[in-house]
Amino acid sequence: MRELTQFAGEGAEASDTLTLPFELRQKSRLRARLDDGEEVALLLPRGRVLRGGDVLRATDGRAVLVRAAAERVSTATASDAVALARAAYHLGNRHMPLQVGAGFLRYQADHVLDDMVRGLGLVVTSEDAPFEPEAGAYGEHEYAHGGHGHGHGIGVGIGIGHGFGIGIGIGRRHRNILQGKKR
């Protein structure tokens, strides 16, 4: 079985591909199958989430391109930057992995969250799409906690409408930490 043990440098040419959903791209130790069916073992340094476009180097020298699998997600849109920022804040406060794009937020499909986000005035669409959530305010390690997201209550919303707006919200627990208060 081929072992994928390190990240290849910029511009590495891959001869094989590995398509994984976000849940599995968070793991550093994993048995998986390349897109051609060959079984491989991921034995990577801990603390980094695999992203679509990453190239991994195998012990035999070959390179493998990582692809983000299409998975069931909810995509929330709004023309109002404040509404997007508010939704990002509430999703982040629930420690949800969140992908932020121009005029949209994307998270793993969840009907309860969909209802909450709709209640905040956004349009929510359920679709199959690659999911590439933010790494978090403290770097890539934020989503590498045993298969669950850990956004630490920080949300960022970006919207395009009558200008460009950015909103940042910090959850109560982290606001208290920043202010030096005990939990």
DSSP letter (8 states) at residue 145: B
pTM of this prediction? 0.70
Q: Where are the domains of the chain?
A: 2-68, 71-178
Element at 72 (helix H, strand E): strand 70-77
CATH 3.30.70.790 fits 71-178, yes or no: yes
Give CA–CA dist 153/183, Å, rounded: 14
| pLDDT score at 30 | 95
Encoded tokens for 93: 């406060």
CATH class in words for 2-68: mainly beta
Mean pLDDT, range 81-100, rounded to an integer: 94
| Average pLDDT rounded to a whole number, residues 164-180 | 47
Beta strand 29-33 with 70-77 is: unpaired
Q: Which of the pair, 162 or 48, is modelled with greater confidence? A: 48
Task: Look up residue 148 and give its DSSP letter.
Answer: B
Structure tokens at 6: 């390190």
Confidence grade of residue 12 (pLDDT, cut at 50, 70, 90): confident
pLDDT average, residue stretch 38-61: 93
- 31 pLDDT band (50/70/90 cuts)? very high
Q: Which residue has the tokens 């009558």?
A: 162
Q: Residue 17 has what DSSP assignment?
A: E
> Cβ(76)–Cβ(124) under 8 Å?
yes
Residue 150's nearest CA partner among 100, 107, 92 is 92
Q: Is the pLDDT of residue 176 over 70?
A: no
User: CA 163, CA 69: separation in Å to the nearest integer?
Assistant: 33
Residue 169 has pLDDT above 80, yes or no: no
Q: Give strand pairing partners of 42.
A: 4, 30
Decide the pairing of beta strands 163-170 and 154-161.
Answer: antiparallel
71-178: same fold as 2-68? no
CA distance linking residue 106 with residue 91, whole number of Å: 10
Q: pLDDT, tens digit, for every residue of 123-162?
A: 999 999 999 999 866 554 433 333 333 344 444 444 444 4
